[in-house]
């Protein structure tokens, strides 16, 4: 039997139900792994060992009493440091919130706890989720579990490493332009960005409110489905959550294990023929495509225009929303305040000291793109191109059921490699951002495991059609496991 | 589109960021390549296209009602104040220059 921290949520559920393992043993196995590895990897900003063990005891008691709450009852998971958990520090990886204690629970974390999940701790991230490497955390970078000289991707790099290095059974990340999928790809795990409006953003520290979405980061497709099933749903505290039919795990189970007949997959030529894709990424993702085809899927080349423009649209809309959302950090009601200064200086010095350079760069970019004289050429123009990008997805999905691309153009890069070139860092997101701009769901899943740096394949679905995304991913997962 | 260091300094003032010279210079340089990249959207034909707006999911406005929180929650909110005067939030005066 595998060590308890290395198994999936689905496997752990089985062991718990059969009485072979307890939540306390699962939790202790994860805590031991954190203790031995996290000094080197720095995936966690804080570990709640005592609370986690107490929650595990309660879960074990419930199981003894025959009152298991859900599939997640007793499962140790990690959350990203931008999701509020009442009474615990929450900093979004920023110095401006050092010592800030969450006053209430985010909906997604509350739902995890109501399902009986054990929260192990909060994970490292790029400051306010701005970055693709977790190097922009004010608390130091997270390292790649296979090579500590490399980045794990970002911004949910801490959650990705916690899952990949078996320090938890699953984790939550947040994705504004790829922040779940890109680190999942680089660390060789599964990361799902749900449809915008599927999961409540209440209690998630806002980066770009019209693009942010919380989602699962896991070791297998089924685990992602279990977590999505738990955290999804309309929320009166987030008016952008949708009343659409919820995702049901039963839909995932209804497709037979190796059959993709009748599924039409679109391969956008703008992605597959784009220059600059690393050869290792091309080889591994194309091998995965061949497996999808063998399983019966029909592959067609499609035209998905505005691929480059989507990144430009994103790097206008996102900073605009950032500049508005981060205006709340003014040193008045919470966060860092420089004392003994006149009002203007209190604002300006508190912010300049509390925010990192990347955050300030994006605030200024947004301030520019929204300023009088430029707003039409930048913000309004970007909102119009966004409409065209959504139309392009609508047209594509009239022809196909899924769209598939590599998740990232390259594998994990070296620490510091892109730190002084913000545009190079932004180009990391070239395949992931258009999904957020359109609001559709997408998963990144690992291609064939060969011991090298992991490569991710991205499966993009129609609005609110996580079921097709996850069921195709599940078939591919089992085909790849056979090799 | 290129911005001068003076224009960046003006944006920093609008955004309430007190930045030293060297950071202004670095950001001015970064802005050059970023604005050149994002400027490509201005070449897209957007004649007759309406800006995208998120379809409203909710039924209009909800009543503006205060809701009660328990004492522990209230204390957490108060404890996050950078400066307190009893249960009140202390803030710098708007019209005065404080004594150092």
**Is the residue at B82 inside a domain?**
no
Give the residue from chain B lying closest to A423, CA to CA.
Answer: B34
Residues A101-132: tens digit of each pLDDT: 999 999 999 999 999 999 999 999 999 999 99
Report DSSP letters for A154-206, one per residue: SSSHHHHHHHHTTSSSEEEEEESSSTTHHHHHHHT-EEEEPPTTSB--TTBPP
Please confirm, yes or no, whether A179 is among the known catalytic residues.
Answer: yes
- Predicted confidence at residue B99, as pLDDT, reads 54
Report chain A residues whose CB lies below 8 A from the CB of B97.
342
Assign A374 a pLDDT band (cuts: 50, 70, 90).
very high
3-state secondary structure (DSSP) of residue A439: coil
**Is the residue at B94 inside a domain?**
no
Q: Which CATH class is domain A4-260+467-482?
A: alpha beta
Assign A336 a pLDDT band (cuts: 50, 70, 90).
very high
Number of inter-chain CB pairs under 8 A, A vs B: 159
B65 pLDDT higher than 70: yes
Q: How far apart are CA A429 and CA A313, in angstroms?
A: 12
- Predicted confidence at residue A422, as pLDDT, reads 85
Nearest to A239 among B57, B83, B91 (CB): B57
Based on the structure, what is the number of domains in chain B?
1
- Predicted confidence at residue A117, as pLDDT, reads 98
B54: number of CA atoms within 13 Å, CB side?
15
- Identify the residue whose tokens are 């960021």: B17
Copy the structure tokens of residue A3: 């060590």
B32: number of CA atoms within 13 Å, CB side?
8
**Is the residue at B27 inside a domain?**
yes
Domain ranges (residues) in chain A: 4-260+467-482
**Whether the Cβ atoms of residue A217 and residue A180 lie closer than 8 Å to each other:** yes
Give this complex's ipTM: 0.93
Cβ-defined contact of A422 to B30 (cutoff 8 Å): yes
Which of A116-125, A226-235, A241-250, A294-303 has the weakest average pLDDT? A241-250
Q: Stretch A269-289: mean pLDDT, rounded?
A: 94
Q: How far is CA B35 from CA A139, B11, B38, in A?
A: 29, 15, 5
Q: Stretch A288-305: mean pLDDT, rounded?
A: 96
Cβ-defined contact of A332 to B58 (cutoff 8 Å): no
Query: What average pLDDT is seen over chain A?
Result: 96
Owning domain of residue B32? 5-43
- Predicted confidence at residue A257, as pLDDT, reads 62
B82 pLDDT higher than 70: yes
Assign A256 a pLDDT band (cuts: 50, 70, 90).
low
Assign A255 a pLDDT band (cuts: 50, 70, 90).
low
**Is the residue at B39 inside a domain?**
yes
**What share of chain A in percent tops pLDDT 70?**
99
CA-CA-CA-CA dihedral for B19, B22, B24, B28, to nearest 10: -160
CATH of the domain at B20: 1.10.20
**Is the residue at B36 inside a domain?**
yes
A182 pLDDT higher than 80: yes
Q: Stretch A226-231: mean pLDDT, rounded?
A: 98
- Predicted confidence at residue A189, as pLDDT, reads 98
């Amino acid at each position: 039997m595998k060590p308890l921290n290395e198994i999936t949520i689905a496997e752990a559920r089985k062991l718990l139900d059969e009485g072979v393992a307890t939540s306390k043993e699962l939790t202790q196995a994860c805590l031991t792994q954190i203790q031995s590895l996290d000094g080197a990897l720095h995936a966690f900003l804080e570990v709640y060992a005592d609370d986690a063990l107490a929650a595990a005891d309660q879960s074990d008691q419930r199981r003894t009493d025959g009152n298991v709450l859900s599939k997640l009852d007793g499962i140790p998971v990690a959350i990203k440091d931008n999701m509020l958990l009442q009474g615990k520090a929450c900093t979004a990886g920023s110095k401006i919130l050092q010592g800030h204690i969450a006053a209430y629970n985010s909906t997604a974390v509350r739902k995890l706890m109501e399902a009986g999940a054990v929260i192990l701790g909060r994970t490292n991230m790029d400051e306010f989720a701005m970055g693709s490497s977790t190097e922009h955390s004010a608390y130091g970078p997270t390292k790649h579990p296979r090579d500590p000289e490399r980045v794990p991707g970002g911004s949910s790099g801490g959650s990705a490493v916690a899952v990949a290095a078996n320090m938890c059974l699953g984790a939550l990340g947040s994705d504004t332009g790829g922040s779940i999928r890109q680190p999942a790809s680089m660390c060789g795990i599964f990361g799902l960005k749900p449809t915008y409006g599927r999961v409540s953003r209440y209690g998630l520290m806002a980066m770009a409110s019209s693009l942010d979405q919380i989602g699962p980061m896991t070791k297998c497709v089924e685990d992602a489905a279990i977590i999505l099933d738990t955290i999804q749903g309309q929320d009166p505290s987030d008016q952008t959550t949708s009343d659409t039919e919820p995702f049901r795990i039963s839909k995932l189970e209804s497709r037979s294990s190796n059959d993709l007949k009748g599924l039409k997959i679109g391969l956008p030529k703008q992605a597959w023929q784009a220059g600059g894709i690393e050869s290792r990424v091309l080889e591994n993702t194309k091998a995965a495509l061949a497996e999808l085809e063998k399983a019966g899927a029909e592959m067609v080349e499609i035209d998905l225009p505005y691929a480059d423009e989507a990144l430009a649209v994103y790097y206008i809309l996102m900073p605009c929303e950032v500049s508005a959302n981060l205006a709340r950090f003014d040193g008045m009601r919470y966060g860092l305040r420089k004392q003994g200064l006149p009002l203007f200086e209190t604002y300006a010095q508190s912010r300049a000291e509390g925010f990192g350079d990347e955050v300030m760069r994006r605030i200024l970019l947004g301030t520019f793109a929204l300023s009088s004289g430029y707003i039409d050429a930048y913000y309004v123009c970007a909102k119009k191109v966004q409409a065209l990008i959504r139309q392009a997805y609508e047209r594509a999905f009239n022809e196909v059921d899924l769209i598939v691309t590599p998740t990232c153009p390259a594998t994990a890069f070296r620490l510091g490699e892109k730190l002084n070139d913000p545009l190079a860092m932004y180009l990391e997101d070239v395949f992931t951002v258009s999904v957020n701009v359109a609001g559709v769901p997408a998963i990144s899943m690992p291609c064939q495991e060969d011991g090298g740096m992991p490569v991710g394949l991205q499966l993009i679905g129609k609005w609110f059609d996580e079921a097709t995304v996850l069921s195709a991913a599940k078939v591919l997962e089992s085909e790849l496991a056979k090799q | 589109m290129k911005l001068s260091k003076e224009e960046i300094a003006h944006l920093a003032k609008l955004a309430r960021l007190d930045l030293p010279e060297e950071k202004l210079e670095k950001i001015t340089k970064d802005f050059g390549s970023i604005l050149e990249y994002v400027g490509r959207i201005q070449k897209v034909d957007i004649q007759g296209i309406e800006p995208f707006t998120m379809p409203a999911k909710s039924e209009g406005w909800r009543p503006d009602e205060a809701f009660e929180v328990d004492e522990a929650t209230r204390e957490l909110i108060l404890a996050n104040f950078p400066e307190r005067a009893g249960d009140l939030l202390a803030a710098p005066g708007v019209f005065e220059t404080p004594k150092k």
